[in-house]
Structure 1
Amino acid sequence: MSWFSWLFIVWSRSSQSLLLVWLVGRELGIRNGLLCDQMLTCSRWGTPSSQGLFQDGDVIIGGLFPLHYQPPAIDHDFTQLPLLQKLFKQNSLIYILSFYLPPLSLEYVPLQYIYAMVFALEEINHSTMLLPGIKLGYHIFDSCGRPPWALQSALSLVGGDNTSCGQSVPMIIGGASSITSQILSTVLGPLSIPFISYLSTCPCLSDRLQYPNFFRTIPSDIYQARAVAQLVIRFNWTWVGAVVANNNYGYMAVKEEIQEAGVCLAFVETLQRENIISDARRAALTIQASTARVILIFTWYTDVRELFLQLAKLNVTDRQFLASEAWSTSGDLVQNSITSKVAKGVLGVATRSSAIPGFESYLRHLHPIHHPDDEFLREFWEVEFGCSHRTSHKSNILTSNPPVMSDHKSLKKVQNLFTDASQLRVTYNVYLAVYAAAHALHGLLCPIKDSSENNISTCSSPKQIKATELLQHLQEVNFTTPQNETFYFQGADIPAKYDLVNWQKTPDGTLKIALIGHVDGFALHLNESAIQWITGSSRVPISVCSEICPPGTRKVSRKGEPLCCFDCIPCAAGEISNKTGSLDCERCPLELWSNAKRTACIPRQLDFLAFNETLGITLTTAAVTGVTVTTVVFVVFLHYRHTPVVRANNSELSFLLLVSIKLCFLCSLVFIGRPSVWSCQFQQAAFGISFVLCVSCLKVKTIVVLAAFRSARPGAEALIRWFGPGQQRGSVCLLTCIQIIICTIWLSLIPPVPRQDLGFQGSKVTLECAMVSVVGFCLILGYIGLLACTSLILAFFARKLPDNFNEAKLITFSMLIFCAVWVAFVPAYLSSPGKYTVAVEVFAILASSYGLLFCIFAPKCFIILLRPERNTKKYMMAR
C-alpha cells in the first residue's frame, strides 16, 4: 500500500478528506509529479508499476540498483507536540498532523552505477572481439534498497514480465546488500540463474554449496575485517567501540577478527534501517558515554549519515572513526557540513579505485531529450534542474505545473556525485560485473575455431541459453579488462584488493579523501606519515581501557571486566619485567637483584656491618665508651688501691676483671668492618677468651667470698689458706686455658671464613663470617654459659652473708644480667637477617659487658668517690 492510499484511508472518515488530500499534494512539493510514481514503484508487493530502464537486444541482462532511498520516518516518542504542516492560508490557517511517510529521495551514486552498466554494455556492443554479431540489451529495475522489492523485480526479470517480447534474462547484476543477495541467490538457485553482485560482502556468500549461483566483483568481508584488525593492532587500540548494521555485514570484523586479535569491545551497537532514528540516537548516546576514543562503524552510508547527525546534536567531535568500505568513500558524507564537524580524520578501508576511460564524458552528454523513455534520467534531470518533461504525470489526483524541460540544460559543467568520476570504486565493480557476464556469454556462444591465418570467433544463436551452461562458463571466466587487469573468479570471489583512505581537512574547511595505502589479500601497506587524525595532527589517538603497563610492572585483570581493563602492579623485590604489558615478572638469579624500577637485574651490593654507617657508628661509640669508662674505673681503683673497698675480695682479681671487661669491649670492635680471613678467626677467639677470663674472675671472686665467711667457723681456717692468691690466679688461668684450647682446636680444623650470603633475598649480599662448623661456636658459648651459671649459683648462695659490703650480691645481679642477655641472644641471633646477625652479637657483648661493669664496680666507685666515710675497715666489717 502506498503512502497516498494510506493517507486517503486515514482521512476518509472526515468530510474534509478530499480537500486535505488535494492540499497535501499541492503543498508537499509534488510539482514534478515524481512522488506518486516513486511510492508506487517501491511500495507494493505484487505487480511492479514501473518498467524500469529497458534496452532490447539479442541477450537481455538484468540489473537491480537501489536508486531511491526512503529517509527515516518521524520518530514519534510522544515527548513533544506533533509537527504541524502549514497547508493553506486564506482567511485562516489550516494544519494537518504530519503522520505521512517521508518521500523517497533519489540517490545520485546508485544512479551512476546504473549508467556504468549501460556504458559497459554499449562498449561491448561496439567491440569486434567480444560477442561479435550479438547485441546485449538490459532491463534495469530500482530495488529501493529493500530486499522484498529486489526479489519482486528479480522474479519479474526471470519470468520475462514487462519486456517487449516477454524475454527472460539469463543473468542478473545487482544486490546492494548481503541480505538481498542471500535472498535472491536462494530464490534463483534452483533455476541456476547466475547472479553477480557488486556490493555484497558477507563471507557467508562464499559458500558454494548454499549459494552456487552467486558471484561478486567486490572482495569478501573477511579481507576487510582482517585489514581493520591489523590497523587496530598497529596503532595499539585495545579499547574500541563498534556500530554495525543489524545483519551479517560487520559481524565478521567485530565478532571474529577484532576480538580474536585481543582487542576488547567497549560496546556493540546495531542500526536497523526501519528504526534508524531511534537506533542512531541510542548509538550516539553510547558513544558519548564510552571511554573508547576509536569507533568502528560497519554499516551503509545512509545509516552513518543519521548517526553523525545525532552525534552532532550531542556535540561529540573527538572520536576517531574507522570506516568500512560501505561509507569510507561516500561523497555524500564527505561533502556534508555535519560530517566535517563530527568525523574529520576518518581512517577507512575502501573498495579499490580504477578509471573507466570515456565514462565521465558519457555521463556529461546524457540528456532526457535523447532518451525519452529513460525514467531514471528524467527524474534525475527534474530533481537537479527543477524542471519537468513536456507531458504531464499520470496521476489523476495530484497535479503540478513545474517549468518545462529545456534543451539548453546540460551536465557538462555540473559537479555532483553523479558526474564525479574521479574515484570509481563500486561503479567500477558494476563495470567489471558486466564484462564478466559478457565473457561468460562469449565463452558459451562464441567458441574459437582454428584457422590458418587467425582465430575467428563465430557466435551461435543466443535464443536458447541454458542457465547451467552459462553458470559453468561464468565460473571459468578469465580475461583482461580494458584497464589491462586480469580478472577471474575464485569460487564466488575475486582476489582481494582495497585502498586505505583518510578524510583530511583542506584549507577551505572541507574534507577530501586521501589515499594512504592499500591492501593486497591479507597484506597491509600503509604510509603512516600521510595520515591526518581527528586531532588534526600526526599524533596517533589513544584508545585503551587501561594504559599499557610500563616495564617494572605486570598486568592484573579487574574482576568482572574485559581483559583489556586491568591494573598495573609493581613487580616484587627481586623480580623484573623489562618490556611493556608483561603478564608476569621474572625472578632474578641469586647473585643478582632487581633495580629500583624493577626493569633489570643488577649485581647485588656487598653488605656488612661497616664503621661508617649509622648502626656501626652507634655500636662503635658504645664500645669505645665502654673502654673509656672501664679505663676510668681502672684508674680510680689504681689510685685508691689501698682503701678497704678496693682491697676487699682480692684487689688483684678486681684489676684483672677490669682488664677482661675492657677486652670484652674491645673485642666487639673486631666484629665491625669488612670481614676477612684473619678477622673472622680472631673475633670469635677474642670473644670467647675475653668472656671466659671475665666470668672466671667473677667465679673465683665468688669462691673467695664464700671461703672467707666459711673460714670464720671452727676448723675452717685451712680453707682460706688453701685457696690463697696463688690458687686464685691459677684457677683463672686454668679456666681460661680451657677456652683457649677449644678455640685453638676449632680455628685449626674448621675456622670461620668470609662468605657471601645469597640466601637472604635483598638488593645486597651480606658478607659475613660463615660458621663452617657450628660445633666449635657452640662449645665456646656453652663453656661461657657453664661458667656463668656456676658463678650465678655460687653468688646466689653467698648473697645473704652478713656484711655491710657483700660483693656476692653485686656478682649475683651481674650474672643475672649476663645470663639474661645471652639467653635472649640465641633466638635473636638465629632470626636476624644479614649483617644484623653480627649486630646482635655485638650488642650482646656490649650489653653483658656494661652489665658486669656497672653492677660490680658502680657501687664501689660510688663509695670511693662520693661516700669516703664508708670506705673504712670498720664500716666494711660491720654486720
Structure 2
Amino acid sequence: MWVILNISIYLIFNFIMSASILGSNTCQLQGHFRLNEMYHDGDVILGGLFEVDFLTVFPDLDFKTEPEPPYCVQFDMESFQQAQTMAFAIDEINKNPNLLPNITLGYHLFDNCVMLGMAFRAAISMASGTEEFFNNINCTGPPPVIGIVGDSSSTVSIAISSILGLFRVPIVSHYATCSCLSDRKKYPSFFRTIPSDAFQVRAMVQILKYFRWTWVGLIYSDDDYGVYAAQSFQQEMQLFGGCVAFSEVLPHDNNLEDIKHITKMIQASTARVIVVFSTPSFLIPLIDELVLQNMTDRQWIASEAWATSFVHHSPRLLPFLKGTLGIAIRRGEIQGLYEFLLRLQPTNDPKNNMIRIFWEIMFGCNFETGGKKNSGDQVINICTGQEDLRTTKTPYTEVSELRASYNVYKAVYALAHALNDLMQCEDGRGPFSVNSCADITNLKPWQLVHYLQNVNFTTDFGDHVSFDKNGDALAIYDVLNWQPSSDGSIRAQTVGVVNEEVATGMVLTLDEDALYWNFESKKPPSSVCSESCAPGTRLATIKGLPVCCFDCLPCGDGEISNITGAVECTMCPDEFWSNLDKDQCIPKEVEFLSYEDPLGISLTTASLLGTCFCVLVMFVFAVHRNTPIVRANNSELSFLLLLSLKMCFLCALLFIGQPQLWTCQLRHVVFGISFVLCISSILVKTMVVIAVFKSSRPESKGAMKWFGAVQQRCTVLVLTAIQVVICAVWLSTASPAPHKNNQYIRSKIVYECAIGSVAGFSMLLAYIGLLAAVSFLLAFLARNLPDNFNEAKFITFSMLIFCAVWIAFVPAYVSSPGKYAVAVEIFAILASSFGLLLAIFAPKCYIILLHPERNTKKAIMGKEAQNT
C-alpha cells in the first residue's frame, strides 16, 4: 500500500513541480490548496508543519462542478504557540549578528489539520512554491523552502519523508518519535530534536526497573506511533526480564465493544501497572469507560504523547488518574518568547490567515465585516489590534511548561547553525565534489543535510543539540507525576530525569519524596506475577507460563544465591560451603583425626596402653632374665621384639592430629620400619626354634652354629635395612605431604597425608606382608614341635592374628571416608600389635608371675624326657 501511495504522490509532486509553459519564458502553477498558513519573507525560507487545527472538513460532492478543497476547523492554541515559537526563533536569529550575518531568514508555516492528506498538500506546497507564475523557462532556481520544521505526527513524518527524502529536503521534526524514522536508508534527510520511541521505551523501562515492576499490562494506539512503540517495549521488557501480562490495541474508530473488552482485560489481570502508548484522542473513550467501572486500583505509566496532555487533567478524572507516572520531553525556557506571543496582532495579509483565525477565536473578530461586531443595536469595533492578550489565560500564552515548543525552537536553531556552518566554508576546502562549497544563492537542500548532520551547539537554556548518525537527538526526559492540585484538578509535577549517557546508558534520577501514590498505603504498588525469590533460592520457570511466573527452588548443597530473584545459584569456591540458609559461603569444616576427638582420644589411650604393656613386659623379663623360661626363648630377641612392638604402638600417635609435613613423612616410615623390625625378630625367633630342635637330634648337631647371636642380629639388621632403603627411595622420589581433600565429603575438607607414591606405599606394605607370610609359614610348620619348644605355636597364632588384621584392613581402609580411614589404619596397627604382644608374651608372663613353680629348667625339660 505504501509503495503505491509513494509512487502516486511522487507523480503528483513531479506534475506540480514541472510547470506548464505559458509563453516563451513563464511557468504556471497547476493547482492550489486551501491551507491555513503564515508567511514571512527572507533570503532563505524555512518551512513548518503544525497541527493548528484538529479536524478537516471535506465539502459535499455533487459530481457536476469541481469539488471545493477541504479546510480545517477546531483551532488548537497549544499548537499555534509552537508555530509562533518558530516565528520567534527566526526573528531572534535575524537579530543575532553572530549567527547568519547578512542573511535574513523567512518562514512559510502550514496547518496540517491532523490529517495525512492535508499534510501532503502542505508539504507539496512548500516544496513547489505557491507563486502563480515563475519566470524561468527551465523552472530552475533555489527551492521555495530550504528545510522544514515538523511534522509532529510520526505517521505524517513517515509519509512526507518518503517523498521529500527523494530530493534530500531536510526535515527536522519536533515531536515525531517513531523509532522507524531512524532508518537512514528509508529517510536519509530526516532529523528530530525529540528522542525516538526506542529511547522513550528505554526510559519507561527504567522506571519499571526502579520499582521492580516486572508484570505489566500494555495498551497502545492503533497507529504507527503506538504499534512501533509497543514492539520496542516488549523487546526491552524481555531484555529487562519483565513480562507483558496482556497487550491490547486502542481502536482508531473508538469502538465501544473494543473499549469494554480492554477494560475487562485490565480488571481480570493481576498486573497492577498499566503502560500506555497513545495520543490523547485515542485514550478518551477508554478513560470514560474506566470512570464508569470505578477502576482506581491501577498504576498508570504514560508515554510522552499524553503525559503532558491537559485533556485528562479535569477534576472528574482525578480519582482515577492521579498518581500517574509518565515521561515527557525535556522542558525548556525561552527568554523573550512570552513578550513575543503577546505582541501578536491581526493582519490583513491573506497568507497569514492563521493569525486571523486566532484573533477571531480569541476576541470574536469578523474580518469580513471590517473587524466589527454587532452587540444588540450597537456596532462595536473590537479588532483594532490593541487588545491585550494578558487578560485571557490560554495554552497559547502558557510558557512555564515549554516542551514541544522548546523542541521547535531547537529545530529552527539546528537549521540556522547548519546554514551558518555552510556559509563558513572556504573555497577549495569544501565537503562537496572537487572540494567545492555550496552557493548560498543557489543552495540545494541536500547540501544543507550534510551540515545538519554535523551540527553541534548549546542552547541558552544549557541543552546540548547534536544528531547521531541516524538523525536522532540526545535522549533526555523529564519524569512526571500527576498530583492533585488545590482546585481539584490534576497537575503534572516533575519528579525526576532520565538521561541517556554514552558511558553508562540510561540513568534514572528520581525524587521519591516528591512522588504521589494513588493507593491507601501511599506507597508504590507491587506488580509481579511471582514474588521474587529470596536469597538462598533460585527461580524455576513454569512450563506454559511467561518467564515472570516461576517457582522458587532452594539452592543445592554447596551453592548459594545472595541476591533477591537469582536466576541461578552460584557454586562456592573449593574451600567454602553453603550455610544452612544457602545465602552465604562459609569456610568448610576442616576434618582430621584430632586428639580432642572422642575417637582420637580412644585410639591415643589404646596406643599409650599398649606402650605401657610393652614396658611392663620388658620390666618383667628384665627382672626374671635369668629364669629358664626367659633364657629358653632367646631373651635378646624377646627384648628386641618388645622394643619394636613399643615403637609400633607409639607410631600410631603420628597418625593423630593435624597433618604436618614432618608427621606425614614420619608416620609411614616409622610404621614400616617398626613392623619390619618386629616381624623380622619373630621370623628369626621362629628360625631359631627350628634350629634348636634340629640341633637336638644327633644327625643335626651342628645346626646351631649357623644361628648364633651374631647371625641373628645380622639377619634382623639386614631385613630391616631393606625396609629402610624402600622408605628412603619413597621419600626422595615422592614424599608424602599434607593434602586438603574435597572428594570424600563435599561439605568438609579432609586434611590428610597424601601418600605421594602409590608404588612406594605398596612396596612398604608388600615387604611387611612378605615377612609376615614367611614367618607364619615357618611357625605353622614348626607348630608340632615338642612342648619345650612350643613357642612356635604362639608365633603361629600371633602371625595368624597379624595377617587377618591386615587382610581386613585393605577393604576397610578403602571404604572409609575422611578421618575414619586414618582411624582404620591406626586400629590395624594397634590390633596387630596387641595380637603379637598378647599371643607371644602373655603365656610367658602368666607363668612368670602366676606360676613361678613352672619357671624351672626341670619343669621345662620334664615334658621332653617324658616325650622321649
Do 2:618 and 2:639's aligned partners in 1 also have CA atoms closer than 8 Å?
yes
Q: Secondary structure at the match of 2:225?
A: coil
CA distance 1:538–1:666, change in 2 (3 Å): same
Q: Secondary structure at the match of 1:354?
A: coil
Do 2:333 and 2:461's aligned partners in 1 also have CA atoms closer than 8 Å?
no
1:792 paired to 2:776: yes
User: Match for residue 15 of structure 1?
Assistant: none
1:424 paired to 2:402: yes
Question: d(CA) in 1 for partners of 2:238 and 2:149?
Answer: 36
Do 1:351 and 1:499's aligned partners in 2 also have CA atoms closer than 8 Å?
yes
Question: d(CA) in 2 for partners of 1:157 and 1:685?
Answer: 103
Residue 264 of structure 1 and its aligned partner are, at CA, apart by 3.6
Residue 122 of structure 1 and its aligned partner are, at CA, apart by 9.1
- Cα deviations across residues 122-175 of structure 1 (Å, max 9, x unaligned)? 9989999799999988764633xx5467557878999999x999xxx9678764
Residue 517 of structure 1 and its aligned partner are, at CA, apart by 3.9
CA distance 1:649–1:118, change in 2 (3 Å): same
CA distance 1:491–1:648, change in 2 (3 Å): closer
Question: d(CA) in 1 for partners of 2:104 and 2:640?
Answer: 137
Aligned partner of 1:530 among 499, 503, 511: 511
CA distance 1:319–1:614, change in 2 (3 Å): farther
Question: d(CA) in 1 for partners of 2:823 and 2:263?
Answer: 69
CA distance 1:378–1:568, change in 2 (3 Å): farther
User: Match for residue 828 of structure 2?
Assistant: 844
Q: Secondary structure at the match of 1:271?
A: strand
In the TM superposition, 1:309-328 aligns within 5 A as 317=297, 321=301, 323-328=302-307
Instruction: For 2:835, give the aligned amino acid.
Output: G
CA RMSD for the aligned pairs? 7.5
Q: Secondary structure at the match of 2:306?
A: coil
Aligned partner of 2:51 among 47, 65, 73: 65
User: Match for residue 177 of structure 1?
Assistant: 153
Q: Secondary structure at the match of 1:512?
A: strand
Do 1:317 and 1:342's aligned partners in 2 also have CA atoms closer than 8 Å?
no
Q: Secondary structure at the match of 2:716?
A: helix
User: Match for residue 738 of structure 1?
Assistant: 718
Question: d(CA) in 1 for partners of 2:294 and 2:853?
Answer: 102
Instruction: For 1:266, give the aligned amino acid.
Output: C
- Cα deviations across residues 423-456 of structure 1 (Å, max 9, x unaligned)? 122234456778999999999xxx9xxxxxxxxx
Do 2:498 and 2:508's aligned partners in 1 also have CA atoms closer than 8 Å?
no
Instruction: For 2:113, give the aligned amino acid.
Output: D
- Cα deviations across residues 211-246 of structure 1 (Å, max 9, x unaligned)? 577665545445556666777889998888765555
CA distance 1:62–1:842, change in 2 (3 Å): closer
CA distance 1:692–1:354, change in 2 (3 Å): closer
Question: d(CA) in 1 for partners of 2:207 and 2:213?
Answer: 9
Do 1:229 and 1:258's aligned partners in 2 also have CA atoms closer than 8 Å?
no
- Cα deviations across residues 676-715 of structure 1 (Å, max 9, x unaligned)? 787667655653454345435655666688789x88xxx9
User: Match for residue 240 of structure 2?
Assistant: 263
Do 1:220 and 1:496's aligned partners in 2 also have CA atoms closer than 8 Å?
no
Do 1:825 and 1:841's aligned partners in 2 also have CA atoms closer than 8 Å?
yes
Question: d(CA) in 2 for partners of 1:574 and 1:134?
Answer: 70
Residue 52 of structure 1 and its aligned partner are, at CA, apart by 7.5
Larger mean CA deviation between 573-582 and 738-747 belongs to: 573-582
CA distance 1:302–1:835, change in 2 (3 Å): same
1:500 paired to 2:478: yes
Question: d(CA) in 2 for partners of 1:742 and 1:292?
Answer: 83
1:200 paired to 2:176: yes
Instruction: For 2:721, give the aligned amino acid.
Output: I
- Cα deviations across residues 3-45 of structure 1 (Å, max 9, x unaligned)? xxxxxxxxxxxxxxxxxxxxxxxxxxxxxxxxxxxxxxxxxxx
Q: Secondary structure at the match of 1:348?
A: strand
Do 1:656 and 1:697's aligned partners in 2 also have CA atoms closer than 8 Å?
yes
Q: Secondary structure at the match of 2:252?
A: helix
CA distance 1:797–1:151, change in 2 (3 Å): same
Question: d(CA) in 1 for partners of 2:316 and 2:788?
Answer: 113
Do 1:576 and 1:587's aligned partners in 2 also have CA atoms closer than 8 Å?
no
User: Match for residue 402 of structure 1?
Assistant: none
Instruction: For 1:117, give the aligned amino acid.
Output: A
Instruction: For 1:178, give the aligned amino acid.
Output: S
Question: d(CA) in 2 for partners of 1:468 and 1:306?
Answer: 49
In the TM superposition, 1:606-625 aligns within 5 A as 609-625=593-609
Residue 283 of structure 1 and its aligned partner are, at CA, apart by 7.1
Aligned partner of 1:354 among 333, 350, 360: 333
Do 1:360 and 1:419's aligned partners in 2 also have CA atoms closer than 8 Å?
no
Question: d(CA) in 2 for partners of 1:700 and 1:346?
Answer: 99
Q: Secondary structure at the match of 1:200?
A: coil
Instruction: For 2:403, give the aligned amino acid.
Output: R
- Cα deviations across residues 714-767 of structure 1 (Å, max 9, x unaligned)? x97448977889959777645432244335556777757986445745886957
CA distance 1:605–1:214, change in 2 (3 Å): closer
Instruction: For 1:787, give the aligned amino acid.
Output: L
Do 2:206 and 2:506's aligned partners in 1 also have CA atoms closer than 8 Å?
no
Question: d(CA) in 2 for partners of 1:56 and 1:442?
Answer: 22
Do 2:801 and 2:835's aligned partners in 1 also have CA atoms closer than 8 Å?
yes
Question: d(CA) in 1 for partners of 2:468 and 2:680?
Answer: 105
Aligned partner of 1:114 among 68, 74, 80: 80
CA distance 1:425–1:207, change in 2 (3 Å): same
Instruction: For 2:830, give the aligned amino acid.
Output: L
Question: d(CA) in 2 for partners of 1:725 and 1:469?
Answer: 130
Residue 418 of structure 1 and its aligned partner are, at CA, apart by 6.2
Question: d(CA) in 1 for partners of 2:847 and 2:325?
Answer: 99
CA distance 1:545–1:427, change in 2 (3 Å): farther
Question: d(CA) in 2 for partners of 1:737 and 1:442?
Answer: 109
Structure 2: which 5+ runs fail to align?
1-32, 57-72, 97-101, 134-142, 347-352, 365-371, 375-379, 424-440
- Cα deviations across residues 794-816 of structure 1 (Å, max 9, x unaligned)? 44446678999987666545433
Question: d(CA) in 2 for partners of 1:633 and 1:484?
Answer: 105
**TM-score normalised by L of structure 1:** 0.58
CA distance 1:789–1:660, change in 2 (3 Å): same
Instruction: For 1:845, give the aligned amino acid.
Output: I
**TM-score normalised by L of structure 2:** 0.59
Do 1:65 and 1:142's aligned partners in 2 also have CA atoms closer than 8 Å?
yes
Q: Secondary structure at the match of 2:400?
A: coil
- Cα deviations across residues 564-595 of structure 1 (Å, max 9, x unaligned)? 9999997997999999989997997xxx9457
User: Match for residue 820 of structure 1?
Assistant: 804
Instruction: For 2:80, give the aligned amino acid.
Output: I
CA distance 1:487–1:583, change in 2 (3 Å): closer
Question: d(CA) in 2 for partners of 1:729 and 1:574?
Answer: 67
User: Match for residue 668 of structure 1?
Assistant: 652
Do 2:252 and 2:282's aligned partners in 1 also have CA atoms closer than 8 Å?
no
Question: d(CA) in 2 for partners of 1:183 and 1:238?
Answer: 36
Do 2:149 and 2:412's aligned partners in 1 also have CA atoms closer than 8 Å?
yes
In the TM superposition, 1:776-787 aligns within 5 A as 780-787=764-771
Residue 503 of structure 1 and its aligned partner are, at CA, apart by 1.5
Question: d(CA) in 2 for partners of 1:574 and 1:755?
Answer: 32
Do 1:116 and 1:430's aligned partners in 2 also have CA atoms closer than 8 Å?
yes
Q: Secondary structure at the match of 1:326?
A: helix
User: Match for residue 310 of structure 2?
Assistant: 331
Question: d(CA) in 2 for partners of 1:482 and 1:670?
Answer: 84
Instruction: For 1:112, give the aligned amino acid.
Output: E
Over the matched positions of the two proteins, sequence identity in percent amounts to 32
Structure 1: which 5+ runs fail to align?
1-49, 71-105, 383-389, 393-404, 448-465
Do 2:465 and 2:474's aligned partners in 1 also have CA atoms closer than 8 Å?
no
Larger mean CA deviation between 760-769 and 263-272 belongs to: 760-769
